[in-house]
Amino acid sequence: MSTIEQKALAYHRSGSAGKIAIEVTKSVSTQEDLALAYSPGVAAPCLEIQREPAKAYEYTAKGNLVGVITNGTAVLGLGNIGALAGKPVMEGKVVLFKKFAGIDSFDIEIDETDPDKLVEIIAALHPTFGGINLEDIKAPECFYIERKLRERLSIPVFHDDQHGTAIVVGAGMLNAIEMSGRDIATVKIVCSGAGAAAIACLELLVDLGARRENIFVCDSQGVLTTARGLSGEKLDWARDTIATKLSQVIEGADVFLGVSGPGVLSQMDVQKMAKTPIVFTLANPEPELRPELVREVAPDAIIATGRSDYPNQINNALCFPYLFRAALDCGASTINQEMKRACVVALAGMARSDARFGKDYVVPGLLDPRLLSGVTPKIATAAFRSGVARKELNELEYSADLDDLAQQLI
């Protein structure tokens, strides 16, 4: 067992087991306090909410509470390890919500793999929450589950493995493309992976200006082609080509996007790419090709990974706390494309405004103190302008409030 594994087990076991607890936010030190917190006083807010359901945001924690929900079918790089084994990851997500955005969360691990049953369970739980973060649910079921919940619920539902990855990839890619003097409309992109994260990344890149005809997608069986008889999301990315292998379509590619597994990309593949290749090898913990091996054959490459021990970490925590913070604060009924795009642009701009901006700094660092107040207001503004927010927030005042919150979270 490695040192990091030993340290992680000790970390999770020490003190109170796990990483989270619940705290009481009102005084309960007197008999009168107890009478207000519970019986008989609690009946008053109950009746107010019965008359006007929106009052739940005023009298309960709903407006600052997110459900982090999984069935454990696609946990990190561990695969289908089950709901219970996925609980440490979900607790970790709760920690990140609180640490980076002051959002309270409950982790909920549901032992159910039937998509329709899972939709029913989550929909039945939704009155508790102001938003739902779906996590580590395998493709293709995750597409269906998110879509059905978004259709049914009037609170934000966000599958982070899809959209969180896509947003941070989008920000890094915009900067890498600009830095290398390219035009997003003309870049040739080769993607290894056709799961939830890969498909979401590609859809967002198209939304940002990339062209489908310039994108080649590969799964474990090779290039997605019209000859393979594909269905669902994969069919949308099938190309009419005789090429069957990644090594064939990578010739002259400007961008490699890896959302698959270790060892998929070779140094020979990198050598076939265009000058100053953009290489995002995001498989975690072991990337498609290690950055140092990319550098050996392409010293001018712009490289990103999913790991914290290399520059340009593509980490979902750069976006999901701020998306939900904005959505909760402006009363958004959903997290839409306009909000995601605003987050991409804000993250990209933040990296560009940093003195460290360069090939080893195309996205902000996770601990950048500007994130909460710099990114969140842009998302809230996009929510209101696109018609999904109940209230408009003054961007300057909201940013100042978030600066105050950030100081409390340090």
Q: Which residues pair with 219 in a beta bridge?
A: 222
C-alpha pair distances (Å), 276 with each of 12, 111, 168, 174, 178: 42, 46, 21, 15, 12
Token pair in block for residue 236: 């949308």
316 annotated ligand binder: no
Q: Which of 93, 148, 188, 340 is catalytic?
A: 93
Backbone angles phi, psi at 324, to 5 degrees: -70, -35
Q: Which of 7, 11, 38, 391 is catalytic?
A: 38
Spatial CA neighbour of 253 closest among 183, 187, 202, 303: 187
Q: Is 93 tagged catalytic?
A: yes
254 annotated ligand binder: no
315 annotated ligand binder: yes
Q: Are 73 and 67 in contact (CB under 8 A)?
A: no
d(CA 323, CA 335): 8
Strands 215-219, 222-223: pairing is antiparallel
Count of all residues that appear for the chain in the document: 410
**Annotated binding residues for a divalent metal cation:** 135-136, 161
Residues designated as active site: 38, 93
- List residues forming the annotated binding site: 135-136, 161, 284, 315
Q: Which residues are annotated as a binding site for (S)-malate?
A: 284, 315
